[in-house]
């Protein structure tokens, strides 16, 4: 009697049961099988279900039909006896296990896996699924999230609907790997007006977010063993990409004025990765004198600088400084921008502003990987910018995020008083809070107590190569109501007393 596994449609269960019995010789080659009517009666299923199962088995060669009285039989030619041990119960569930030795990865594949696992471990994520949803917490201060309550959802849907209704064949076809001209032109105009970057649309490449931008840069510029300078602390996503490329990472400490420009004078560093407008995660801003010093250093050592303009639009105490790329006169700065925090991460749209010499190789590399970024979303975003909605949305979110920032700073100072030091409150969507009186390595205890109070905390040590000597937490606030911010900090302070 066939043993059905209870998984999925009945005809698939019957198909798998027959297949397993045939492969394990429980049903011998050439042996007759019941008619579809008889099988349906035996299993108490409809005849149509039995027919579907047999049709699949016939199509794959497990069964054959014979003219005359023989009817349907097991195919006489089956895998030899030596293959029988490979078929087991796991086959029923279509799970095929290949040993690590048989699935030998390339050197690059091993590097990527090692870097990804290190990043997952440092961020405390459960697995390589990169699932960002933590245990259900009432007050989740995870950094890097957008101000979802402020999203102009209805407006975005109207623009998307309009573009979809009037889409041309060109809009539905593969797009240019560098991105649609409409969006590149809108970005160029905005950068010229607000960030002091005089870049033509030809130098702009649309990407699927910051991670793809960094990956493209690494693939075009880095060889295994090349030296890359990163800030300490730094964005772990960048660290993961550079490690995956086989780069040797060098760190330069961040002080109250941002990254300290290294004294290295020889041509030893290929690339420097910086977040000058809102250093991640400390939030400090690189002053103009040090920006010029960094550009001079890059010129002397022959390095490219990757400027990740993370959160630069959100500045609450005065206008932002001109972007590093706007000060560049030699074509050494690669500018990375994203719309994930201003709009929403699922949009998956960012961009690169490249020195002319890198445009062709980066576009060619991108074409090999994805043949282009989603077209309709690009066109909707271009409309959103050119119609003025982007600037209006940014003004509204700046005001609401400033209010959330104020609520968080006030709550930390009220509940922790002299026990906490707040950093990076002038811009961005998160704060760094150093917990006084606690040495380095205590974040696990802090995290455990916070989780028991249903507060999501994220330790700053994940953003260091060498753990800091004191305990700090990064508090994101963009999606949280002010009342939840205050209550969450109150619960946290009570849990840590």
pLDDT at 176: 95
* Fold match, 10-92 / 151-391: no
pLDDT at 313: 86
Give the integer Cα–Cα distance in Å for 492 and 489: 5
Secondary structure string (H, E, C) spanning 258-280: EECCCCCCCCCCCEEEECCCCCC
Give the integer Cα–Cα distance in Å for 22 and 189: 67
Give the integer Cα–Cα distance in Å for 294 and 260: 9
Alpha carbon dihedral 393, 399, 403, 409, in 10-degree steps, equals 100
Give the residue among 433, 444, 454 at the shortest CA–CA distance from 124.
Answer: 444
pLDDT at 315: 87
pLDDT at 90: 45
**Helices 47-59 & 10-23 angle (0-180, nearest 10):** 40
Copy the structure tokens of residue 1.
Answer: 């009697």
The DSSP code sequence of 388-448 is: THHHHHHHHHHHHHHHHHHHHHHHHHHHHGGGEEEE-TTBSSEEEEEEEEEETT-HHHHHH
pLDDT means per 10 residues in the chain (497 residues)? 86 93 90 93 93 92 83 81 47 51 78 82 59 70 89 95 94 94 97 93 97 97 96 94 95 94 79 95 93 95 95 82 93 96 91 97 95 93 96 94 95 93 90 80 80 89 89 93 96 89
pLDDT at 185: 98
Give the integer Cα–Cα distance in Å for 335 and 322: 12
- CATH number for the domain running over 151-391: 3.40.640.10
Query: Contact 371/174 with Cβ under 8 angstroms?
Result: yes
Alpha carbon dihedral 103, 109, 114, 118, in 10-degree steps, equals -120
484 contacts: CB under 8 Å, gap ≥ 6:
138, 139
In the chain, where are the structural domains located? 10-92, 134-145+395-496, 151-391
For domain 10-92, say whether CATH 2.60.40.10 is its number: no
Copy the structure tokens of residue 62.
Answer: 């497990």
pLDDT at 88: 47
Give CA separation, 31 vs 27, 365, 379, 381, in Å: 7, 56, 62, 64
Query: Contact 336/209 with Cβ under 8 angstroms?
Result: no
- The strand pairing partners of 227, in sequence order, are 248
pLDDT at 92: 43
Entry pTM: 0.81
**CATH topology assigned to domain 134-145+395-496:** 3.90.1150
């Amino acid at each position: 009697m066939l043993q059905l596994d209870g998984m999925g449609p009945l005809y698939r269960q019957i198909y798998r049961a027959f297949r397993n019995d045939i492969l394990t010789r429980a049903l011998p080659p050439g042996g007759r099988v019941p008619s579809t009517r008889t099988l349906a009666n035996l299993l108490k299923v409809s005849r149509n279900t039995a027919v579907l199962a047999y049709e699949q088995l016939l199509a794959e060669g497990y069964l054959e039909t014979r003219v005359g009285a023989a009817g349907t039989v097991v195919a006489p030619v089956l895998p030899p006896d030596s293959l029988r041990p490979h078929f087991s119960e796991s086959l029923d569930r279509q799970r095929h296990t290949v040993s690590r030795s048989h699935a030998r990865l390339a050197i690059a594949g091993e590097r990527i896996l090692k870097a990804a696992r290190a990043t997952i471990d440092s961020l405390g994520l459960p697995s390589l699924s990169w699932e960002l949803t933590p245990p259900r917490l009432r007050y989740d201060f995870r950094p890097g999230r957008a101000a979802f309550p402020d999203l102009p959802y209805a407006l975005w849907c109207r623009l998307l609907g309009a573009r979809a209704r009037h889409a041309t064949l060109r809009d539905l076809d593969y797009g240019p790997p560098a991105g649609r001209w409409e969006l590149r032109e809108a970005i160029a105009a905005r950068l010229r007006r607000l960030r002091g970057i005089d870049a033509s649309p030809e130098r702009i490449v649309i990407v699927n977010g910051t991670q793809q931008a960094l990956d493209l840069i690494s693939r075009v510029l880095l060889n295994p063993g090349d030296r890359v300078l990163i800030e300490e602390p730094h964005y772990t996503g960048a660290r993961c990409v550079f490690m995956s490329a086989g780069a040797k990472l060098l760190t330069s400490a961040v002080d109250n004025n941002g990254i300290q420009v290294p004294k290295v004078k020889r041509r030893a560093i290929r690339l420097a990765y910086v977040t000058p407008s809102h250093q991640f995660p400390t939030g400090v801003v690189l002053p103009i004198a040090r920006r010029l010093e960094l550009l001079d250093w890059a010129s002397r050592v022959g390095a490219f600088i990757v400027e990740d303009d993370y959160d630069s639009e959100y500045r609450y105490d005065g206008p932002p400084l001109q972007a590093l790329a706007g000060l560049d006169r030699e074509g050494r700065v690669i500018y990375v921008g994203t719309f994930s925090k201003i709009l929403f991460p699922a949009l998956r749209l960012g961009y690169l502003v490249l020195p002319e010499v890198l445009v062709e190789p980066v576009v060619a590399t991108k074409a090999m990987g994805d043949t282009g970024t989603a077209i309709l979303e690009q066109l909707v975003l271009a409309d959103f910018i050119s119609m003025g909605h982007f600037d209006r949305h940014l003004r509204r979110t700046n005001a609401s995020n400033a209010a959330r920032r104020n609520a968080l700073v006030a709550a930390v100072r009220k509940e922790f008083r002299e026990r906490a030091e707040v950093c990076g409150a002038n811009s961005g969507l998160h704060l760094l809070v150093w917990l006084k009186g606690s040495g380095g390595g205590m974040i696990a205890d802090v995290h455990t107590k916070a989780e028991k109070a249903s507060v999501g905390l994220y330790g700053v040590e994940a953003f260091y190569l060498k753990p800091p000597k004191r305990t700090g937490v990064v508090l994101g606030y963009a999606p949280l109501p002010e009342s939840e911010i205050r209550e969450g900090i109150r619960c946290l302070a009570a849990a840590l007393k």
